[in-house]
Chain A
Amino acid sequence: MSHVPLALVDILNFLIPAVIFALLALGLNVQWGYTGLFNGGVAAFFGLGAYATAILMTPYSPPNPFYPGHLGGFSQSFPVAAVGAMFVAGLAGLLIAIPILRLRADYFAIATLALAEIVRLVLTNAESLTGGSIGIPLIPRPLPVRTDYNFSTLLLGVLVVAILIMVLVALDVLSGAPWGRVLRGIREDEEATLALGKNVYSFRLQAFVIGCALMGLAGAVFASYRGFVSPAQFDPLATFTIYVMVILGGSGNNKGVVLGAFLYYAFDWVSVRLDDRLPDDLALRMPYIRLMVIGVVLVGLVIYRPEGILRERKRKFPPVRAPP
């Protein structure tokens, strides 16, 4: 059995949640950063991805007097579950988008926020499918063989970094493609882009579904990392945390939003660990102080650097014709 140094485990326990946030931020960046779609239901697609993974990966779990049981018994591998999570979140995105995508930005935000609340209530109340408020425990790590728990964390860490790099490269290619150009056009002026001959509805739909699928992927990593899912983890208001990350890092810049996610989570991680060293009465107040700091930083950012830490890259093309 291999030994993983505890310091490394500590780093991994920072890195993996940070990557989960980064994947959520990247998904939101496709929707908000590129296309200008205000998705108020990030938590819903994240939760659906996590539950899909839980259901696909766990063995059969019969109901008993203390647990309502859940849909399951598929015992699938992580890759299958991750694809399933992306499919479920993407499909949910498609089904909700078809009726509401024509709504104006603010109504679209309200409708998606409502979806997040609906998903949370369904996860809580469809007990025989989801384990109710207890949720679904005993979700395995990606490894097929039983190994030391810390070693499985190390492998998950390597896997999620690989996933993050792949997603980042893919999104950079797509956003630089003519497809991404149309999305940015829609963000700037939807009607003008329509008048320039683009099927705006179709592009918005594509961007929304791809973003939701990425949120589902983040949910898959989350479920396997935590080992259990429950409705309380998918608070609809957590959506706005992801917005803070995107705006902090640089809306429209993929590397920027990853940076934003890492910085935000680093602040959270450090300040939580600081609690132990503070006097009790201050430690009790820390959750509120954290929120206050984030609020002040966000307001300062919007006023003094609205484009975020890394601004959206200007895209230059070498001349095809010789300049005059």
Chain B
Amino acid sequence: MIPVTEPLLRAEGLVKTFGGIRALDGCSVQVRRGTITGLIGPNGAGKSTLFNTISGLYAPDAGSVHFAGRRVDGLQPYDLVRLGLAKTFQIPRELRNLTVLENLLLAATKVPGENLVRFVLRYSEGRRREREIQAMAEDLLEFVGLYALRDEYAKNLSGGQKKLLELTRALMSDPNLILLDEPVAGVNPTLASRILDLVVQLRDQGKTIFLIEHDMDVVMKRCDWVVVMHQGRRLTEGVAEEVKADQSVIEAYLGT
């Protein structure tokens, strides 16, 4: 399948330097709506930096990012979450001394009780919203199979479960675009294939997924479109088979 929908995300000419290192060196990518788009490239290619820049954690030194038809570079991460862009971290960043359920509740948006004035003045509205987001969190926990761990501290989860929590948490803001930074790295094959099935289900529900992955098998099987990065730039892109056969990609990985 070749994606022909309009781009939901468009980054152009992104530059991000850290000291003397140009982690992003004029990087341009597009992610089309309703696709699973894979981002591959050798270590140090700038993949995670690209994700952090798109999601507002880093401010780009140059270039622009458009998301859902508006320019978003320079916006704060919380603005982007409200606009429907969620991100997971490569190494799970569970909030250790919060329960699994609390981790999800915290990730919800439009929570009146987070504002002290509204918490006091609109107490019943806040309570209603809390019940809503708790129902949403419980549905999600059931959907991903973490319901039994609802009241467990997040720090007590296994590595794979933390990865799953990371993904589930990103869904709480009901995003249109989800950036997944290596969602199955270091996860056992059974859980990994469950996570990837979930990703496909999310795509089928109309979400757009942009994911970093090293495992070519995963990329071949699940991604509708693949973007290759090398030295802070887009090297090439295409459907998985094309990219896999591309001589420049092989050279980038093997370093010849």
Contacts and interface: CB of A to CB of B under 8 A. Distances in A.
B115 interface: yes
B77 A194 contact: yes
B78 A199 contact: yes
A179 interface: yes
Pick the most buried of A185, A195, A206: most chain B CB atoms within 10 A of its CB.
A195
A323 interface: yes
Given A192-B93, A193-B106, A206 B76 contact: no
Contacts of B89: 192, 195
B47 interface: no
Interface string A150-188: 000000000000000000000000100111011011011
Interface in A288-316: 312, 314-316
A324 B97 contact: no
Given A178-B130, A191-B57, A198 B114 contact: yes
Nearest to A318: B134
Contacts of A316: 99, 151
Q: Chain A: interface residue count, which band?
A: 20 to 34
Contacts of B173: 196-197
Given A191-B57, A315-B102, A178 B111 contact: yes
A167 to B, nearest CB: 15
Nearest to A198: B78
Contact of A195 (B87, B101, B135): B87
Given A194-B77, A317-B134, A181 B102 contact: yes
A181 B105 contact: yes
Contacts of B57: 191, 194-195
Given A312-B97, A317-B101, A197 B78 contact: yes
A187 B113 CA distance: 19
Q: Which 6 A-B pairs have the closest CB atoms?
A: A197-B81, A178-B113, A192-B93, A188-B95, A321-B138, A320-B135
A320 B130 CA distance: 10
A197 B77 contact: yes
A64 B245 CA distance: 93
Interface string A198-228: 1100000010000000000000000000000
Interface of B: 55, 57, 76-78, 80-82, 87, 89, 93-99, 101-102, 105-107, 109, 111-116, 119, 126, 130-131, 134-135, 138-139, 142, 147, 150-151, 153, 169, 173
Contacts of B94: 189, 192
Given A178-B119, A206-B116, 11 more contacts: A174-B119, A178-B112, A179-B115, A185-B98, A187-B97, A189-B95, A192-B89, A197-B173, A198-B78, A319-B150, A320-B138
Contacts of A206: 116
A317 B98 CA distance: 12
Contacts of A174: 116, 119
Given A192-B89, A196-B81, A323 B95 contact: no
Contacts of A324: 142, 147
30 contacts: A178-B111, A178-B113, A178-B114, A178-B130, A179-B119, A182-B106, A188-B95, A188-B97, A189-B95, A191-B93, A192-B89, A192-B93, A193-B95, A195-B81, A195-B87, A196-B81, A196-B106, A196-B107, A197-B107, A197-B109, A198-B78, A199-B76, A314-B99, A314-B153, A317-B101, A319-B150, A320-B131, A320-B135, A321-B135, A321-B138
